[in-house]
Structures are given as C-alpha cells and as structure tokens.
C-alpha cells in the first residue's frame, strides 16, 4: 500500500471513531433505506414501461458480439466521446445498438445519418431508471436473439475513450480470450466485491443462464442513481456468482483498502499507465485544466477552457 493510501486509511479510521460521524452516517443509511424500500415496494415501475421510440429498429438476425450502448442525452446531439467510442467498437467487429435516455422528444434528436446506417439499432427512451433499466428494456426486445449471440456488451457513457487505440485493441483481445462468463474492466470492494458496470461483457453461457435472464426481466426503473448502484451494480456480481457464473475484472485492484478500492476514481493515472484505455467523465470534470489530464485525453473531449 502506498503512503497516500495508508494516510487515507488512517484518516478514515480516525474519523469513523468520532461520534458525530457515526450519527451522520446512521442518518444517511436511514434515508437511503427508506428511499430504497419505497422505490422497490411502491413507486418504481418495470423498466419496460418507459416510453421507447425506434429511430432504427434492432436488426432481426444479429449474431456474434453485440453491444447495448446507453447514453444520457440532455442535448439533441450525441456526445462527442460517445460517437468515438461507438466507432471503435464497430471497427472491432461489435454490432452496436444505441439507446438514448433523454427528456427530449424523438423529433428533437439529431443523430448523424452516416452513424445511424452503421448501427444495428437505435432508440430514444424516456430518461428513467438510468443505464440498467435502459439495458433491460432493450434486452426485452432481443431476448430470443440473445440466446444465440457470442457476447453481449453493456456499455454506458460514463467513460471517455478509447484514449489509446492499441490499448483498446489489446483490451478487446483479452475480452475475447477470457474464459470467464462475465467480464468487466475494474472492480470495487465496497460494500462487497463487484465488477463495475460501465463496461460489462456476458458470454454465451451467461446469456443462456436463467439467473441473468431473471435479472433483466425483473429490472425496475429505480428513481435515483444511488438506488441503481445499491440494488443492481453492487449486487449483480454476487448474484451471478451464487448461480455458478464466473466473474472477472481485467484490471485487478491496485489497492487492498476496500474504502478506496475504486481505481477509476482514486488511481486513474496508474490505470491508464497499466493499459486501461478509458477515463471516467467524473475525473475529467474534477481535474479540468490539469496538465496530467490534458496529456492523456484528446482536446475535443475536454471541457472548454475559460
């Protein structure tokens, strides 16, 4: 463990012993629990109830590697980094189905005709339930087809990249050579070990497994990002592991401290040096203007200066 990690752990343990911190954490947990119970038991609709409009209906006979790419669209145009990512996936032989979570109408969306032609499907969906609900909604349209796919990639727009084409090619090769049923890029240890959900890959065995099918079929449009993380992201790995599926992250944790085990947040530069071809959008926002950031992220994906 590095000095920085050791200091963080010491400071966190010290603060945890303070009574006011314990009371505050207890109140936070009480609120999260109440919101979660309300969402699961009373207010959250099935993911498939959201309005969904086809810009290009999903192809009838998809085969091989398929990607459901979810992007939040606050503006009528596609985010620049999303288009770049999709183009890399297409060049790697992955068939991409795009789903845009948005509060805008279908008529307002401006999707480039050239890109639309290359996609295997494109949809505009009401902005409810975040990425998991969008993935599940799209899966409901393709459940029978998915039984015959080689792999299903679930990707969202919280990562920017690829930052390095060679690293991306190496990553895709590792995904395709992996013997795991579920492949992710990184993992976190809090509140339990789980593969992080910004880039997930399910192989043929996983796609035919009833456990994964139930996950998609029972998905709700939970009202907050925190609830989606608590219910779906952090539990998915354990649920699938309990049913005999093997889950793997391609980039092992760089720290043994469970409280700072999110390497995409705490050790993003080290990850990139290790061949990780992405950076989180939250890091770009946090370190905007940093020379270290500008050295690895293309200028067109950075926020404007000034």
Quick one: pLDDT at residue 306?
A: 58
The whole-number average pLDDT for the span 250-261 is 79
pLDDT digits (tens, 9 = 90+) for 96-121: 999 999 999 999 999 999 999 999 99
Contact assessment for residue 222 and residue 130, using Cβ atoms and an 8 Å cutoff: yes
pLDDT-based confidence at 31, cuts 50/70/90?
low
pLDDT digits (tens, 9 = 90+) for 4-27: 555 555 455 545 555 555 566 656
pLDDT digits (tens, 9 = 90+) for 164-223: 999 999 999 999 999 999 999 999 887 788 889 999 999 999 999 999 999 999 999 998
**pTM: predicted TM-score of the whole model, two decimal places:** 0.86
Ranges of each domain in the chain: 3-43, 47-249, 258-301
pLDDT digits (tens, 9 = 90+) for 134-156: 999 999 999 999 999 999 999 99
Contact assessment for residue 195 and residue 249, using Cβ atoms and an 8 Å cutoff: yes
* Higher-confidence position of 85 and 302: 85
The DSSP 8-state label assigned to residue 64 in this structure reads S
Q: Report the CATH fold assignment for 47-249.
A: Spore Coat Polysaccharide Biosynthesis Protein SpsA; Chain A (3.90.550)
């Amino acid at each position: 463990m590095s000095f920085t990690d050791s200091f963080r752990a010491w400071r966190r343990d010290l603060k945890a012993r303070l009574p006011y911190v314990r009371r505050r954490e207890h109140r936070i947990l009480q609120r999260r629990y109440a919101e979660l119970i309300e969402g699961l038991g009373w207010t959250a609709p099935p993911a498939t109830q959201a309005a969904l409009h086809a810009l290009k209906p999903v192809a009838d006979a998809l085969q091989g590697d398929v990607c459901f790419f979810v992007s939040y669209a606050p503006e009528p145009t596609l985010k620049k980094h999303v288009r770049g990512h999709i183009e890399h996936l297409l060049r790697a032989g992955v068939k991409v189905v795009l789903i845009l979570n948005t509060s805008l109408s279908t008529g307002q969306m401006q999707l480039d005709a050239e890109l639309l032609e290359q996609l295997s499907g494109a949809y505009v969906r009401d902005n409810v339930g975040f990425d998991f609900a969008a993935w599940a909604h799209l899966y409901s349209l393709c459940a029978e087809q998915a039984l015959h796919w080689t792999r299903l990639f679930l990707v969202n727009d919280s990562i920017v990249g690829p930052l390095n084409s060679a690293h991306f090619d190496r990553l895709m090769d590792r995904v395709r050579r992996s013997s795991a049923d579920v492949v992710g890029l990184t993992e976190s240890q809090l509140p339990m070990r789980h593969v992080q959900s910004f880039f997930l890959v399910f192989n043929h065995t996983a796609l035919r497994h009833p456990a994964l099918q139930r996950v998609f079929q029972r998905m709700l449009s939970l009202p907050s990002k925190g609830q989606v993380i608590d219910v779906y992201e952090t539990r998915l790995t354990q649920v699938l592991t309990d049913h005999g599926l093997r889950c793997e992250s391609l980039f092992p944790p760089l720290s043994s401290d469970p409280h700072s085990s999110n390497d995409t947040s705490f050790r993003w530069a080290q990850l990139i040096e290790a061949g990780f071809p992405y950076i989180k959008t939250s890091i770009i926002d946090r370190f905007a203007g940093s020379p270290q950031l500008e050295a690895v992220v293309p200028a067109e994906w950075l926020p404007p200066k000034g």
